[in-house]
Homo-oligomer: A and B are copies of this chain.
Amino acid sequence: MTNVSNVLKPRFKPSHPGLVFKRQVLEGYELSITEAARRLGVSRKHLTNFSNGHVPCSLDLAQRIAAATGSGVAVWINLQANYDTWLAEHTDTPDVVAFG
CA distance in complex: A77, B3 (Å): 18
A2 to chain B, nearest CB (A): 12
Selected from B67, B85, B94, the residue in CB contact (under 8 A) with A94 is B67
Given A59-B84, A77-B81, residue A94 in contact with residue B5 (CB < 8 A): no
CA distance in complex: A97, B37 (Å): 10
Size category of the binding interface on chain A:
35 or more
Asked if A5 and B60 sit within 8 Å, CB to CB, the answer is no
Asked if B100 and A63 sit within 8 Å, CB to CB, the answer is no
Residue A13 CB within 8 A of the other chain: no
Residue A62 CB within 8 A of the other chain: yes
Selected from B3, B5, B67, B93, the residue in CB contact (under 8 A) with A96 is B67
Residue A99 CB within 8 A of the other chain: yes
